[in-house]
Amino acid sequence: MYKQASISHVSARNATVFSGMCAMYALALLAGAVLPLAFAPLGWYWLAVLSPAVLFLLAARLPKRQALWASYFFGLGYFGVGVSWVFISISRYGSGPVIAMLVTVGFVALLALFPWSAIFLVRTLCPRMGGFALWLGLPAAWVLSEWARLWFLTGFPWLFLGYSQIGTPFAAIAPVFGVLGVSFVVAVMAGALAWTALRFSLRRLAIASGALVALLLGASLLDREWTEPVAKPLSIALVQGNVEQDRKWKPEALAFTLGRYRALTQPYAGTDLIVWPETAVPAWFDQASEYLDRLQTRLGARGSTLILGIPVRTDQGQAYNAAVSLARPRRFYYKRHLVPFGEYVPLRGLVGPWLNILGAPLKDFSAGQQPRLLYASGVPIGALICFDVAFGAEVADLLPAAQLLVNLSNDAWFGDSLGPHQHLQIAQMRAIETGRPLLRSTNTGLTAVIDHNGQLLARAPQFEPTVLPAEVTPRTGSTPYVRWRDKPVLAFIGIALSVLVGVGRKGKRNSSR
């Protein structure tokens, strides 16, 4: 009888422990799932502090194994909601919903390893999670994981914490330390909140509040004009053709597409700069040259320069996703950061074309190797095609020569999802980092005019054929970020993690006594 009672007691205790762990994992999943709400279009920026704070608190309170599982569930929620638009592009324009679900789940499962890696690193270096680990160790590891996403498997720098802070006082950090610097400050606030909640006291609350005030004061000291206007304002017209993605590349739709863009453009002849979106002309440049020559002749007679997106093929057999300035002499910019499976198939020669699950062209695009400037009315322009705008250090390669940035994109792939809004927010951050106005011309939206402080001056309605006219003033000069890139942030991460190693070793020595 006693033995049976003991077994029942153990079983009940195990069931309680199991249900408690499930509750912790559910909390982590929920905290990750709400984090994308901090970004566009909702912009609940405070969630960028609260959500990671929940993760950091769990990382400090749970045993290492459970903490790692919690961090992985957090990542599943974070990216499962945040990049759900990947499913739309594959399902509608690739190989259907079944393949789309499999690929999206696999992609999210891979991305979830990045929050996991941050927790793993800190818990390995410093098993006892004290104040330093929460205030600086975890923030440093988190931002290191964001930096790794800039290059791992060609890069996917989406949903960095810093992007959520556009429009807040902390955006002033970006011209100096870039989006990773903003992410670091946000993560520090999350660590401070977790430290306060770990063992709540008025003393801890006062310290965390003081730190917040110090960070706000520090950000206010960086809030200044880093660049200056040059020359006169340019009149611009951003053309949004709104050609359906599943129709765009059909040969029988070419005449319709060219006619629509011509009709939308002609009333704006005399505008200094007219911009069409990425691959606005769904034909090779040499095939459309007669049409483009006639159009630029009419526009050029009124003093207009047209920049447009179009595929280009060379005599050497290479194909490029290009932005072309039609004013003589013609200039070409070739997209530098291609989208895997969208514009080329990795290992195509090894595994064959069956890997083409996203509807990539049968012929792979080649990546441009040099940042080339385009010109309009004598103004040097830095062109960025779609995914290019997500890589701040590469955008900085165009500076300080470029006085204006132009982002040509086609977000029709992602429908009415979070994707286009997140993409626009990323473009806003590039404007802040470089101190340059940025013009964004897209096929279906979000077409927008962004000033050098990252603020939206104008935005076209989504899913409508329209033209967005505006005036922008080119700017000159270099922000500190253009000169330094991500080096200061990476150096600080290295210092923080080095100190964390020392803290961890000291904690081990003390526990062994």
Query: What whole-number distance in Å separates Cα of residue 73 and Cα of residue 57?
Result: 14
Phi, psi (degrees; rounded to nearest 5) at 96: 95, 175
Q: Are 190 and 165 in contact (CB under 8 A)?
A: no
CA triple 414-385-347, angle to 5 deg: 75
Residues whose CB falls within 8 Å of the CB of residue 232, separated by 6 or more in sequence, listed in order: 473
Residue 248 annotated to the active site: no
Pair of tokens at residue 484: 């330094």
SS3 20: helix
Residue 335 annotated to the active site: yes
- Residue 424 has a CB neighbour count (10 Å cut-off) of 24
Helices (H), 347-404: 348-351, 392-395
The torsion angle over the Cα atoms of residues 481, 275, 251 and 103, rounded to 10 degrees, is 30
Query: What whole-number distance in Å separates Cα of residue 480 and Cα of residue 489?
Result: 12
Please pick, among 126, 146, 386, 433, the residue that the annotation labels catalytic. 386
Radius of gyration of the CA atoms of the chain, in A: 25
Residues whose CB falls within 8 Å of the CB of residue 96, separated by 6 or more in sequence, listed in order: none
Please pick, among 278, 343, 394, 433, the residue that the annotation labels catalytic. 278
Reduced 3-state DSSP string for 304-335: CEEEEEEEEECCCCCEEEEEEECCCCCEEEEC
The torsion angle over the Cα atoms of residues 223, 133, 74 and 93, rounded to 10 degrees, is 50
Place of tokens 């863009």: 261
CB burial string 393-404: b at 16+ within 10 A, e below: bbbbebbbebbb
Q: Which has the closest alpha carbon to 260: 441, 466, 407?
A: 466
CA triple 246-247-252, angle to 5 deg: 145
Q: Are 30 and 70 in contact (CB under 8 A)?
A: no
Residue 386 annotated to the active site: yes
Query: Which DSSP state fits 126?
Result: -
Handedness of CA 239, 244, 248, 253 (dihedral sign): negative
- Residue 11 has a CB neighbour count (10 Å cut-off) of 10
Please pick, among 335, 343, 394, 433, the residue that the annotation labels catalytic. 335
Active-site annotation, residues: 278, 335, 386
